[in-house]
Amino acid sequence: MKDTGPSNGLMKPSRKYLLLCFLAAAAWARAVPAAEAPPDSARVVTDLPDLIVSSEAAAPPRTGLMILGPARIAQEDVGSLADLGKLLPSTRAAVNSRGEAVLMIRGAPERHVQTYLDGIPLNLPWDERVDLGSIPVVGPIRLEGRRGLASLLEGPGALAGSVRILASRPRPGPVSVTSAVLGEQGLSILNASTGGSAGPWRLQGGMSWRHRDAWPLPDGGPERFNSDLDQYSFLGRGSRSIGNNGRLNLLATGWHEEKGVPPELNLGDEARFWRYPERRRILGGASLDLPLGADGTWDLRAMTAVDFFTQEIDPRGPDGWGAPLAPGQDYEYDHDRTGHAMLGVTRWLAPDLRLTLQGNARYTNHRESLTAGGDELAYAQWLTALVAEGEWQTAGGWTLRGGAGWDHAATPQTGDKPDRPADDAEALNLRLERDLRAHTRIYLAASRRSRFPSLREMFSGALGKFLPNPDLHAERQDLIETGLTTRGRRGHLATAFFLQELHGGIEKEKLADGSGRFMRVNRTRIRVPGCEIIGTADLSPLLTVSVQHTFLGARVRQDGAFTGRAEDRPDYLSQASIAWRQPERGPDALLEALVTGPRWSADASGASDDTGGLQRLPAGVTWSLRLGYRWLTDGRSVSAHLRVDNIFDRNVPYQVGLPAPGRLITGGLSLEI
């Protein structure tokens, strides 16, 4: 795609994409036959399946929601959550210069996406993001991806959307699954899980181990330097009923890993040569779902969780890794201790009318030492939110959801940096939906919510790569969105048109002092108009085609007009797949294509100083193929597969100097009892 440079407002090509999306939506809505209406849907479903720790007091709307079940996830042969990001609509999975795999929904920065494991937040408060490559996938799971700000009950920080890892729906009797994946470059993934009942408890547990020597470089290159990984993890869940309709859920999980950070190829000897000699994380949580009152008109939900995270960063390079530490050498120790709590009460004023009041609180303490034997700095932050939300479903098929809230951030400890005052922000959300016919719904939504800067954005120098900016303030997002979803006997379709406007958006700027360092600053305004279309069609009982396309027109306001370049926001994202699968036994096949549009990315080499430190990256496409076979015998299921990722060995960089892996061949076996 030829780069035509920035233009005022929405470019002409964007109007073409918007029109095409609209016409496709209208055509599909007319063509897809309606399925039977679901049973009683007047009241919002608030009960949760077994084994899920809840972090919301009421269910969010289902528009803008993508659910991936265990069967679809199993086809990806994943070892971590990072392997699943490409399946979510309008979502880009990338690896940054710190070696962290992150998700960007609708082009928004990764800190606008909240990630949960059974309702427990996974984003590290120190940085307000999470390395998805470190989140193991243990046992059968399902994945829920939400786009946009569906509900204020999701908690602060979920401006662009959220991703939730949930236990698969429980099946009667004990179930055990063991799988192994082996591939090039020493890639090994072992996963074992089991579940069953013990008295009043339903239990599930699992363990996993992942290893790789390196990722392959694309275009037939050698192995990617310092891209190794070694990780093991465990997970345990428990659930039991309380009273007639209540439920108590418990979760405990943890992992330990050592990994390398591939350097930016464009920087040569000036690149960041880092390793994580040790990373450890332990999470534990509990939730209570309890109907109150004899008439069942009150619901109480509570959640509490603790999160312990420790990591070491060794920046001394290949000649220093593993050598004894000398006092004063650069070597970072990070220790995070975080507590989460949620309390929500829902009052059912009528079967189709509810009012929910929810409070969220998070306290984190971060301690770091930047040199061997050096002083330890302490940082702390309180993040709280109070939200009131109501929902009314009318007999005419209309649903009105409205909410208002207040977010608050305070930093009682700021290390060796100046104190900063507490910060507050309002939160608003209004959503109107209507059923046109069975399984066809339109909606219109408007929202406002802010994200407070993380401790790291304000106070960290990232071992000399950034200049701290304690004066950062919250960035505020205004979002308007409209869309349509429809489901028929042979497929479904979801379309959306949205306009995001970020006020005071936090982005990095290259310093003009020649040091090659960056500083995070509040940009004036960033506007992102876009549209997305997500469709699935069952061409036959065995053959399914899925297509996703998102167009984004991100621009930064400068000199009174939206003409500036926005970092790491592609012009478009596309994904297509065709899957052939037998219902119980026999062969299966999956062919996938992933397209990432052109985008601007930060370049610290100095080669792009004339464009504000940003370099234009071209569009790229990667293809993947999976062939499998499943046997059923004596109550057991045995599956085997062969997989080729990036078939044509294309070079599609995550960022400047950070290529995605080249062609990779893997195979594996899975046994389910």
How far is the C-alpha of 267 from the C-alpha of 92, rounded, in Å?
A: 24
What kind of architecture, by CATH, is found in domain 12-672? Beta Barrel (2.40)
Tens of pLDDT along 324-357?
A: 999 999 999 999 999 999 999 999 998 899 999 9
Tens of pLDDT along 613-626?
A: 789 999 999 999 99
| Identity of the amino acid at 550 | T
How far is the C-alpha of 375 from the C-alpha of 629, rounded, in Å?
A: 57
Residue 76 has a pLDDT of 87
The overall average pLDDT reported for the chain is 87
DSSP secondary structure letters along 477-516: EEEEEEEEEEEETTEEEEEEEEEEEEET-EEEEE-TTSS-
Dig out the tokens for 304 from the structure.
């509490």
**Tokens 């469709």 belong to which residue?**
535
Q: Give percent of the chain above pLDDT 70.
A: 90
How far is the C-alpha of 146 from the C-alpha of 350, rounded, in Å?
A: 28
Among the residue ranges 329-338, 446-455, 633-642, the one predicted with the least confidence is 633-642
Domain segments of the chain: what residues? Answer: 12-672
Picking from 226, 186, 194, 236, the residue whose alpha carbon sits closest to that of residue 210 is 186
- The pLDDT of 210-218, averaged and rounded, is 96
Which residues have a Cβ under 8 Å from the Cβ of 670 and sit 6 or more positions away?
74, 177, 178, 179, 180, 637, 638, 639, 640
The stretches of 334-480 forming alpha helices (DSSP H) are 455-459
- The pLDDT of 442-460, averaged and rounded, is 94
Tens of pLDDT along 29-49?
A: 344 333 333 333 222 333 344
Reported as a pLDDT band with limits 50, 70 and 90, residue 12 is: very low
How far is the C-alpha of 207 from the C-alpha of 402, rounded, in Å?
A: 42
Q: What angle do CA 305, 308, 310 make, to 5 degrees?
A: 160
Which residues have a Cβ under 8 Å from the Cβ of 396 and sit 6 or more positions away?
none
How far is the C-alpha of 295 from the C-alpha of 349, rounded, in Å?
A: 11
102 φ, ψ (degrees, to nearest 5): -130, 160
Burial (CB count <10 Å: 0-12, 13-18, 19+), residue 319? exposed
- The pLDDT of 499-525, averaged and rounded, is 84
- Using alpha carbons only, how large is the chain's radius of gyration in Å? 24
Given a cut of 60, whether residue 182 has pLDDT beyond it is: yes
Picking from 453, 468, 444, 471, the residue whose alpha carbon sits closest to that of residue 407 is 453
Q: Are 82 and 92 in contact (CB under 8 A)?
A: no
Reported as a pLDDT band with limits 50, 70 and 90, residue 54 is: low
Residue 635 has a pLDDT of 76
Q: Are 42 and 352 in contact (CB under 8 A)?
A: yes
Q: Beta strands 175-183 and 586-596: pairing type?
A: unpaired
Reported as a pLDDT band with limits 50, 70 and 90, residue 171 is: low
DSSP state of 148: S
Tens of pLDDT along 542-581?
A: 999 999 999 999 999 988 899 988 889 999 999 999 999 8
Distances (CA, A) of 202 to 45, 170, 236, 358, 636: 22, 9, 11, 28, 22
- The pLDDT of 318-326, averaged and rounded, is 91
